[in-house]
């Protein structure tokens, strides 16, 4: 028998009336707003934030901010990163890398062309590793 449960980190914060499909993986310190629905086989990276009433159809990168009827990436969870006491340089590097990673729809090529110094940043490395990992769903992008 196949066990059809979601994997939800104990540090995730999930509001009321959130539907979570089977085989979903929700990372640590994720925040999910009320009345959201997460489709099966979806991954939500650590410290991502899902706005209320969001339909999550695509994997959300670590530290990402995703909203909408059919979720799209709205940027980074900057408030969460500051509250977690990451230093400004790490956050600024992540912000710059984010712009380069999502500069065009060819994310894998954008990652290959990413400035080498960004790849030394642990936050950027987490995002890149998440994107390149085997997956069942597409990555949520600003142009989803």
Asked whether the beta carbons of 64 and 81 are under 8 A apart, the reply is: no
pLDDT at position 119 is: 82
User: Which residues touch 5 (CB under 8 Å, ≥6 apart)?
Assistant: 22
* Check whether domain 7-79 has CATH 2.160.10.10, yes or no: yes
Where the chain has pLDDT below 70, the residues are 1-3, 144
User: Is this prediction's pTM over 0.75?
Assistant: yes
pLDDT at position 144 is: 57
Asked whether the beta carbons of 110 and 103 are under 8 A apart, the reply is: yes
pLDDT tens digits, residue range 58-92? 999 999 999 999 999 999 999 999 999 999 999 99
Domain boundaries defined on the chain = 7-79, 86-132
């Amino acid at each position: 028998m196949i066990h059809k449960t979601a994997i939800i980190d104990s540090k995730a914060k999930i509001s009321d009336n959130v539907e979570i499909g089977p085989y979903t993986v929700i990372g640590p310190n994720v925040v999910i707003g009320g009345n959201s629905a997460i489709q099966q086989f979806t991954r939500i990276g650590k410290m991502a934030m899902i706005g209320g009433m969001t339909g999550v159809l695509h994997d959300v990168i670590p530290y990402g901010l995703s909203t909408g009827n059919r979720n799209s990436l709205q940027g980074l969870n900057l408030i969460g990163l500051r509250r977690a006491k990451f230093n400004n340089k790490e956050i600024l590097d992540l912000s710059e890398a984010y712009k380069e990673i999502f500069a065009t729809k060819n994310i894998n090529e954008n990652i290959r062309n990413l400035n080498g110094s960004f790849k030394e940043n642990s936050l950027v490395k987490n995002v890149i590793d998440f994107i390149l990992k085997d997956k069942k769903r597409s990555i949520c992008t600003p142009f989803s």
